[in-house]
Structure 1
């Protein structure tokens, strides 16, 4: 029984840490939610902006390179730059 608990804990820890890895995408912003501090990309993914990234500096139609991570089903941007 104790081995089962240890194995289960290890599997859960691995699964949760995998979800936190950063991903980088190049896409076009299709909408900006100033109230919710979020953007929606052309693929339909909505990403939340942290303090320090001002939503007012972004606009729909802008092509960007975004680095983000997903934790507990919520995607949080760590970096956003204009695409070249």
Structure 2
């Protein structure tokens, strides 16, 4: 019984870590950038939030990108961005 409780406690501690590690990617053309809100919108109509220290240099509407992102609280947050 004690081992089961320890294993369950350990699993509950590690579960959020695994959820954060999952990441998706998408590609498309930038249609809008809002530096004040910290967001980039792609040609598919989806908006991706930027981290607080994000560098917007070289990004403008029309630039093709690949975005790697995680979903946190229903928002797509950019983990990495590469221009094509």
Length-normalised TM-score, structure 1: 0.70
Q: Counterparts of 1:66-77 in structure 2 under 5 Å? A: 66-77=67-78
Residue number in structure 1 paired with 2:37: 36
Are 2:68 and 1:64 equivalent residues in the alignment?
A: no
Moved over 2 A (4+): none
Q: Which runs of 5+ in 2 are unaligned?
A: 1-11
Residue number in structure 2 paired with 1:54: 55
CA distance in 1, matches of 2:38, 2:46: 14
State the 1:24 CA deviation: 1.1
State the superposition RMSD in angstroms: 2.3
CA distance in 1, matches of 2:78, 2:66: 11
Q: 1:55 to 1:72 in 2, by over 3 A?
A: same
Length-normalised TM-score, structure 2: 0.70
State the 1:58 CA deviation: 1.3
Aligned length: 71
